[in-house]
Amino acid sequence: MKFFNKLANTFISTVKIVYGAFFIAFLILSCTSQKSFSQFKLNEIKLHESADNINSDTVPKKSNANTVFKMKKDPWKAVLYSALLPGAGQVYNKSYWKVPVIAGLGGYFVYEYIRNNNKYIEYKDLYQNSQNTGNASGDPQLLALREFYRDQRDNFIIYSVILYVVNLIDAYVDAQLYDFDVSEKIKISFLNKNNMVKLSYGF
């Protein structure tokens, strides 16, 4: 029993560290993405305006004040969808691969909560039955098991809350970054004049 308790505590500690780091990373990303995204779109608009002015003199100059960029995905709508149903915001953002991850972790946390809660109730009843006039403090081993499963149950409640919050943050950030083109652009051209191969690589 001590071995399994130690193994369970090690697993819980590892999960806490991973989700804590995951949560902090998403907070930082969500705070910085809005500024970088706005600057990126402003530069993109300026480049398009410069190209239009060079290619045609008849086209009137555009004003940055009158240029409004419309995002393809509404971040707060994505958050609302994920708040109502975890994973729905990811579907809205077309990040379909994240849905089974969220559903799998959520299902596992709910399963572990129910299992540990049932164990807690079982050992709570056994401990109460062990208390009598001859032994008012009851069986200490049953008390330790009751406390262990109660802590495990409470831990999985915390994990579920963290997963829910991360699901909301991910939906918001993913919608903000939806218009970014992160695909790698690779072009290969053959220069027959010098018998050389030119490779260009960019983002």
Is residue 199, in this structure, part of any structural domain at all?
no
Query: Does 193 map to a domain?
Result: no
Residue 134 is predicted with a pLDDT of 77
> What are the angstrom distances between the C-alpha of 203 and each of 1, 42, 183?
55, 17, 7
**Residue at 187 is within a domain:** no
The pLDDT of residue 70 is: 74
The number of folded domains in the chain is: 1
If residue 2 lies in a helix (H) or strand (E), which one and from where to where? helix 2-55
pLDDT in tens, the chain (203 residues): 544 555 456 556 655 655 555 556 555 555 444 444 555 555 556 655 655 555 554 445 555 555 666 778 889 999 999 999 999 999 999 999 999 999 999 999 999 999 999 999 999 999 988 888 777 788 889 999 999 999 999 999 999 999 999 999 999 999 999 877 555 554 444 445 555 544 444 54
The domain in which residue 174 lies consists of 2-180
Instruction: Look at residue 190 and give its three-state secondary structure.
Output: strand
The confidence score (pLDDT) of residue 190 equals: 46
Lookup result for tokens 């409470």? 154
Question: Residue 132 has what pLDDT?
Answer: 82
Residue at 197 is within a domain: no
**Residues 162 and 115: beta-carbon distance below 8 Å:** no
The pLDDT score that the predictor gives to residue 155 is 96
Task: Evaluate whether residue 76 is within a structural domain.
Answer: yes
Bridge partners (DSSP) listed for residue 190: 197
